Structure 1
């Protein structure tokens, strides 16, 4: 079967901007539990992130807070400050720019799980990850570019914003791995990297006809050792992860593109629309046609 050379998205994490504003005075927002990961990027001024059972964290200019499991929390101008539910807060504040010198500029967003997000990586992170501005030059550079894109309304900016958010997410995971490396032994590090190699192969070429032997070879392990290590580290066998990942990609393509179901099947590695549709229904609980129909119905509203 002919394999496609590229896919239309950077399938790592689908990021969306929930809020961008320059706020002065008393303000606060309550964010509920959600399946995925919140992030808060403080551009200037300061903000506080608080959650039950967690120490309050002060974000300075350039800091990022990742709420890895989407836990409920609040973001405020001061600890214990009054907050509004997220929708009410967005209607009042989103997009507003205060001219005050002591205002806080903040970007809040969310990484959703449907675009091939490495959920096991999130599960291994603490609930709250605070990265200070000086920790990572790549993160700082990408955040600077993100800030510039958010100021624009040019064609292509939204695509660039999504790409930057995916890149920033990767760097956040890398930075946390660096911090964790100091407390793990050489063997566990090597094993994590071998699994990471296999995951990278799946993420970069999900359309390829991966076999257990092929992934094990890429990781530099025997078939049996690789299968055991992958299942232990990721929480499911390689083939199950590959299938679930592919279906996440297919779901996004069904929602975001006009490509036919048969073309989507081909692009993610299936030789027939029937085999793709059968696998999709098993994983997602709906047929590809039903997912596309939901999009059409939503557009008609």
Structure 2
């Protein structure tokens, strides 16, 4: 999954306080144009607070912890669990987008600051197929309030330093740090999953399935068969098919077909390659065969996707599960 990060707000607050997330449609065009999915994160560098998706139970957050909202759900950060807030207005977002980030917001009036947060966003493509996003829960909290010697703890220390000193290039540093922070949060989440957990992340934890997934991801244009994947993964065809389907949620050849279309959609959106070369890059012998398969799986032809026309209707429902990938290669 390709990420683009932006560290956007530096919030100093005094009890009682509450802030509401902007709607993705209002923030994406201003800071991360062209992306179709927004992940929000909030790093609490001092004090304590609560985080909650609107309408859901609040989660306590301590200094040294980060909360990541993975599904673009509207959410509130506040000093107590039940406080409400309105999202920032369009003019505030315009001013923030035109300023050096992180944009400071001061909710301290005449008392002592009770909490400080660094808030930002990560953008990625959710369509047509993003198995990681589909596997994540709506909210992930990570960190160590007693002091963390790992990467996440180092990120928080560096973020505090960059925000305070505002040195040249700090905006770029914070952006890259936020992308690495997200990777570390994901690692911690995967490590915390129970042994009986199923899904794409469970597949990554399985040494045999992780090998099969890596082969598909690294060599999507290869003429993979179930037998070839099984041999490389040190499993029999039957065991690979059964375990892959049970943990990942679809047969290996179905996953391969979807992954090829995900790569194709990214290349089409980038606009730097023609359809024929994209077809070859993902293992199709002809542009016509690729175009038929793309429209069958995605719902629109490659030319429409390149123009920004999106639809999820029927995606994946007719993907070929025959060995070697999509029909008519």
Q: Kindly tell me the number of residue pairs found equivalent between the two proteins.
A: 276
- How is 1:250-269 mapped onto 2 (pairs within 5 angstroms)? 250-269=264-283
Aligned: 1:227 with 2:231: no
Inter-CA distance 146–202: structure 2 relative to 1 (3 Å threshold): farther
> Gaps (5+ residues) in structure 1?
1-11, 296-301
Aligned: 1:236 with 2:250: yes
Aligned: 1:130 with 2:141: yes
2-structure distance, mates of 1:207, 1:228: 24
Q: 1:22 maps to what in 2?
A: 11
Map Cα deviations across residues 112-142 of structure 1 (whole Å, 9 max, x no partner). 42386324x743x544321114567234456
2-structure distance, mates of 1:147, 1:275: 53
Q: 2:43 maps to what in 1?
A: 42
* Higher CA-based Rg: 2
Aligned: 1:288 with 2:302: yes
Specify which of 87, 107, 117 is matched with residue 119 of structure 2. 107
Cα deviation, residue 42, structure 1 = 0.8
- How is 1:173-212 mapped onto 2 (pairs within 5 angstroms)? 173-181=186-194, 192-212=206-226
Maintained 8 Å contact 2:24/2:38: no
1-structure distance, mates of 2:64, 2:245: 37
2-structure distance, mates of 1:115, 1:22: 35
Q: 2:77 maps to what in 1?
A: 75
1-structure distance, mates of 2:219, 2:157: 30
Maintained 8 Å contact 2:45/2:156: no
Inter-CA distance 30–256: structure 2 relative to 1 (3 Å threshold): same
The secondary structure found in structure 2 opposite 1:20 is: strand
Higher helix content, 1 or 2 = 1
User: What TM-score comes out, normalization by structure 1 length?
Assistant: 0.71
Maintained 8 Å contact 1:206/1:246: yes
Range moving further from structure 2, 235-244 or 106-115: 106-115
User: What TM-score comes out, normalization by structure 2 length?
Assistant: 0.66
Inter-CA distance 40–218: structure 2 relative to 1 (3 Å threshold): same
Inter-CA distance 206–77: structure 2 relative to 1 (3 Å threshold): farther
